[in-house]
Structure 1
Amino acid sequence: MPQRYGIEKTPEGTWDIVDVFTGLPVVEVGVPLIDMPIDEADDLVDLLNCRDREHRGDT
């Protein structure tokens, strides 16, 4: 099954987490997950994809 979340590099050199199905930035608890360093974005996208797989029952 495809992963729901991915990271995209911004022109400024930071990273955004996006929903790959909609192309929109992810917002968690009212906070857009944008303009992050790569290590933070990479960790968060792994957690979001894990949570999504569990939610869908694809563990």
Structure 2
Amino acid sequence: MAQRYDIEKTPEGTWDIIDVFTGLPVVEVGVPLIDMPIEEADHLVDLLNSRDREQRDDT
């Protein structure tokens, strides 16, 4: 199963979480997941992909 979310480095050296299906930055609870340090982005992308897998498995 393809992973829905990935991280992308910005020109400033921070990281954004991108929805690979749309190419857009992810927004969770009204907060865009952009301009993060790599550790935070890496952790959050793992959580988002895990949640997405569970939701797709339930359908």
- TM above 0.5, yes or no, is yes
Q: Percent identity?
A: 86
* Shift in Å, 1:21: 0.7
Q: Deviations over 1:6-57 (max 9, x none)?
A: 0000000000000001000000000000000000000000000000000000
RMSD: 1.0
Which residue in the other structure is 1:49 paired with? Answer: 49
Aligned pair count reads 58
Q: Secondary structure at the match of 1:53?
A: helix
| TM-score calculated relative to the size of structure 2 | 0.96
| Whole-Å separation in 2 of the counterparts to 1:32 and 1:6 | 14
Instruction: Please list every run of 5 or more consecutive structure 2 residues that lacks an aligned counterpart in the other structure.
Output: none
| Whole-Å separation in 2 of the counterparts to 1:57 and 1:2 | 13
Return the letter of the residue paired with 2:49: N
Pairing 1:18–2:18 present: yes
